[in-house]
């Protein structure tokens, strides 16, 4: 949980702490380095883009990032415009793996419902079932649950539905009360092929939700 907070603070600084927004576009485990005190550092800015602080929408000529952590709007234009919310999505995928200690995609899962782990997590939490992680204490299990709910917010398919990183930090630091569950995310632009999606236009608006 401490490491996830550090990563979130790092990304939030990139988005809001400089005169220009820095969009990383490749948040993944290999790009998070730990120092001798296990403080995380966001690294590898080879795919990063700068944009004005008051306008975070960018135009890309090619898809960038790592499969498994890339936001859907990088593939499907009808999902939403490309902005800092792509980093929020990537952080959510990373956060889910940190909380569960397993990869999000497992093609060898015994049950089809567990092939894409975030779907299984959502169904478990929505049905009020406990998600147990081996060797975790009760407090660690509660923290993992909170991290998973925050991750589900971050990996909402439409960028508009994802919180900005300052809100993500606020949710991760929340001490009291349960977080509100988001809608169930889906993997791709529903009912459209990639070719159709690329031909569509879309607009973006700010995220708003009552998260307690």
* CA gap 127, 33 in Å, rounded: 36
Answer yes or no: is 63 within a domain: yes
Answer yes or no: is 43 within a domain: yes
Answer yes or no: is 109 within a domain: yes
Number of domains in the chain: 1
CATH of the domain at 72: 1.10.510.10
202 to 73, 76, 107, 159, 190: CA distances (angstroms): 10, 10, 32, 11, 15
Q: Which domain holds residue 177?
A: 2-183
Q: What is the pLDDT along the chain (212 residues), one digit of tens a residue?
A: 889 999 999 999 999 998 899 999 999 999 999 999 999 999 999 999 998 888 767 777 667 788 889 999 998 878 888 999 999 999 999 999 998 877 776 655 555 555 677 888 888 888 888 777 766 677 878 888 999 999 999 999 999 999 999 999 999 998 876 889 999 887 654 334 333 433 433 333 344 443 33
Answer yes or no: is 8 within a domain: yes
Q: Is 6 exposed, middle or buried (0-12, 13-18, 19+ CB in 10 A)?
A: middle
Residues 21, 171 contacting (CB under 8 angstroms): no
Catalytic residue list: 26
């Amino acid at each position: 949980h401490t490491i996830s907070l550090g990563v979130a603070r790092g990304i939030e600084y990139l988005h809001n702490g400089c005169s220009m927004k820095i969009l990383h576009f490749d948040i993944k485990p290999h790009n998070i380095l730990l120092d001798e005190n296990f403080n995380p550092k966001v690294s590898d800015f080879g795919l990063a883009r700068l944009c004005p602080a008051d306008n975070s929408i960018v135009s890309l000529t090619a898809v960038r990032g790592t499969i498994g952590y890339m936001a859907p709007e990088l593939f499907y234009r009808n999902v939403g415009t490309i902005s800092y919310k792509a980093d929020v999505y990537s952080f959510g995928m990373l956060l889910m793996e940190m909380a569960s200690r397993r990869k999000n995609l497992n093609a060898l899962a015994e049950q089809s419902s567990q092939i894409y782990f975030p779907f299984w997590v959502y169904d478990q939490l929505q049905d009020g079932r406990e998600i147990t992680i081996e060797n975790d204490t009760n407090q660690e299990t509660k923290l993992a649950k909170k991290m998973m709910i925050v991750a589900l917010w971050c990996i909402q398919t439409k960028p508009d539905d994802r919180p900005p990183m300052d809100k993500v930090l606020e949710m991760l630091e929340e001490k009291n009360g349960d977080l509100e569950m988001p809608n169930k995310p889906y993997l791709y632009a529903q009912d459209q092929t990639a070719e159709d999606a690329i031909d569509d236009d879309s607009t973006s608006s700010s995220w708003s939700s009552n998260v307690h």
